[in-house]
Structure 1
Amino acid sequence: MMELRHLVYFVTVAEERNFSRAAQRLRVVQSGVSAAIRALERELGTPLFERTSQRVALTDAGTALLPAARATIDAAQAARDAVDEVRGGLRGTVRIGTLISVGFVDLPGLLGQFRAEHPGVDLRMRAAPTGSAGLARALLDGELDVAFVSLAGRPPAGLSVRVLVAEPIVAVLPAGHRLAGAGATDLAGKSSRRPAGTASVGPAGRASVSLADLVDEPFVDSPPGYGNRTEVDRGFAAAGLQRRVALEVADIATVADYVRNGLGVALIPRFAVGSGDGLVTLSVTGAGLRWTFGVATASARGPSAAVRALLDMVDAHRLER
């Protein structure tokens, strides 16, 4: 008879690709994990992992079992949630994915409040080395329960996204750039020709640029798979233009620092410009570029009671802004 515990161990080893790390995560001895996997393989009559001294990889059978195992574990958790809701007090685990920079949500404060209100829920969070595209895949594969993402255009099929913020993408140039103009101000309003806090402008009072104006410039942008990069790439492709990304920076909050130091120009949401010292921002015409940020779940899996509570808290924070 297949045991739920064996499936939990199997999924953990599949995610960690390592028996020792899986045992540490499960807080059991490694021999117990190995024994559970061997028992599961005997019951199914096939190896689930290829084991060498260098790596642990799923076999074809293991790959086929993984989504069904996750669905079984989710169903068992949903049953526990139903009982816990009757008894009072949430239990379970919420696996959260996030971008490196989450400028519009006080995530530490949000999760601290959640922990204080629901101490029985185990929160596990990981950042996305491959950006929002990687978080989306992890949600669809059942590795995450909820993720804070920036996805350009329509969400991938199978995801439900609550948009928290959507704002225009602006062009950011170093203050001495040819498109900034001698009379331009930076965001701190440091030009003597203009009051502090006024908008930055280009030559002859120019306040905007087109993608064609920027196409020959070196760009600082996020790596492929990140929401800002996807949206800007889409804009250039729609205009029939090709640009050159000279520097890829995973943390969007630091992009402006590279621009400030003369390493390129950028198209980023205004919040990522920061103080703006030594920078000029211009609006972008004709492209309709927008940066969106939201919280996503897999629509095929009903959220647990703990996930629903977290989403409700996110909604409350959004309304308070």
Structure 2
Amino acid sequence: MMNLTHWQLLVAVADLANITRAAERVGMTQSGASQAIAQMEAHLGMPLFRRERRHVAVTELGEHIIAQARDMLGAWEAIRAFADENQGLGHGRIRLASFPSAFSHVLPDLLGPFRRRHPGIELVMLEGSDVEVESWLEDGTAEVGVMLNPPPERSPIMLGRSEWVVLVPNAHPLARRSRQQGVSWAELADEPFIAATGGCRNNALSLSAQAGVFLNQIRVTVHDWASAAVLVKEGLGVAVLPESTVPVDLAGVRMLALQPGIFRSYGLVQAPAAVGAKPVQALFSMLRGTFNAATSTAPRA
């Protein structure tokens, strides 16, 4: 059955001439988008696009269908705008605070659909350390924030969980170990160490201190997680990072478990003063629906 997202996908493919980029715009996978287009073409009984070598072109019949789709989507946007105004969501502002890695790895995909659904609500991004985020939430500088290890009483929307891992160059003796065998803090005490903070108080330095281990050879301290991974690749030392921040295409580096294992979780919470604000309620309602849908369709373990 065709739904609104399918029509949005057709228009996006026509605009971008690329199925992968169109899928990203409407929040679908590339394979899901290709399948949806094939189903729509079969349902309508006509080809809508021509797959050419470097782009996707709209067929003559497809031009007519997509013109009608644009009109339909325009009418739908007008209906939603009227509904938003009626609910007090036609305008407003949400200041969202987060530590850097969540801005780059998590939030863009989550906030895109909200921007499209509520174009009248301005999203203002505030980047800071996890300590600053908590302070901004408490003093009202931000209405919403990404908090590390949020307590249940804050009713967070949990965005993710990441294991702390050890990165070593491929030529390092520790690289011969299996990931599961891992490395202990004690074994890292005398290793040349690259300390990355990621703008968070929970980092390799604080975690090693909690484990009662002093890192004796800190060669450099950097703010950016990815920079630390690159320095490990260059052979300047080893590092401990959250796995979710490690570049996926990083070659020349071995990733090992930290033993005993340590995890960090992060979730979206509301500032005490913002609870009940209509724009914030709209954001949380949409995100809870998104995560509930993902949970209901996920395979059971």
- The TM-score, its normalising length taken from structure 2, stands at 0.59
Structure 1 residue aligned with 2:181: 207
Structure 2 residue aligned with 1:119: 119
| Cα 1:271/1:96, change in 2 over 3 Å | same
Structure 1 residue identity aligned to 2:175: A
Structure 1 residue identity aligned to 2:139: D
Output the CA distance in 2 between the equivalents of 1:301 and 1:277. 44
Tell me if the contact between 1:92 and 1:121 (Cα under 8 Å) persists in the aligned partners: yes
Could you list the per-position Cα deviations for residues 63-118 of structure 1 after superposition, in whole angstroms to 9, with x for gaps in the alignment? xxxxxxxxxxxxxxxxxxxxx9893350321111123222552x334333212211
Structure 1 residue identity aligned to 2:87: G
Structure 1 residue aligned with 2:172: 177
Output the CA distance in 2 between the equivalents of 1:300 and 1:271. 31
Structure 1 residue identity aligned to 2:211: A
Structure 2 residue aligned with 1:305: 278
Deviation (angstroms), 1:219: 2.6
- Residue 126 of structure 2 aligns to a residue whose secondary structure is strand
Structure 1 residue identity aligned to 2:215: R
Structure 1 residue aligned with 2:86: 87
Tell me if the contact between 2:101 and 2:198 (Cα under 8 Å) persists in the aligned partners: no
- The TM-score, its normalising length taken from structure 1, stands at 0.56
| Cα 1:315/1:246, change in 2 over 3 Å | farther
Tell me if the contact between 1:162 and 1:295 (Cα under 8 Å) persists in the aligned partners: yes
Structure 1 residue aligned with 2:232: 259
| Cα 1:109/1:263, change in 2 over 3 Å | same
Deviation (angstroms), 1:127: 1.9
Tell me if the contact between 1:160 and 1:299 (Cα under 8 Å) persists in the aligned partners: no
Output the CA distance in 2 between the equivalents of 1:299 and 1:111. 21
Stretches of structure 1 lacking an aligned partner (at least 5 in a row): 1-83, 185-199
Aligned length: 208
| Cα 1:223/1:282, change in 2 over 3 Å | closer
- Residue 280 of structure 1 aligns to a residue whose secondary structure is strand
Output the CA distance in 2 between the equivalents of 1:228 and 1:238. 10
| Cα 1:279/1:146, change in 2 over 3 Å | same
Structure 1 residue identity aligned to 2:235: G
Structure 2 residue aligned with 1:76: none
Tell me if the contact between 2:198 and 2:225 (Cα under 8 Å) persists in the aligned partners: no
| Cα 1:108/1:179, change in 2 over 3 Å | closer
| Cα 1:112/1:283, change in 2 over 3 Å | closer
Tell me if the contact between 1:227 and 1:291 (Cα under 8 Å) persists in the aligned partners: no
| Cα 1:284/1:111, change in 2 over 3 Å | closer
Tell me if the contact between 2:182 and 2:258 (Cα under 8 Å) persists in the aligned partners: yes
The alignment-based identity, stated in percent, is: 32
Structure 2 residue aligned with 1:137: 135
Output the CA distance in 1 between the equivalents of 2:139 and 2:285. 24
Deviation (angstroms), 1:159: 5.5
Deviation (angstroms), 1:249: 2.8
Could you list the per-position Cα deviations for residues 263-283 of structure 1 after superposition, in whole angstroms to 9, with x for gaps in the alignment? 221111222222241011111
Listed as ranges, the matches of 1:1-321 within 5 Å are 87-90=86-89, 91-102=91-102, 104-105=105-106, 107-128=107-128, 131-149=129-147, 151=148, 161-181=156-176, 200=178, 207-223=181-197, 226=200, 228-229=202-203, 232-244=204-216, 245-273=218-246, 274-286=248-260, 288-299=261-272, 301-319=274-292, 320=294
- Point out the structure with the larger helix share: 2
Stretches of structure 2 lacking an aligned partner (at least 5 in a row): 1-82, 296-301
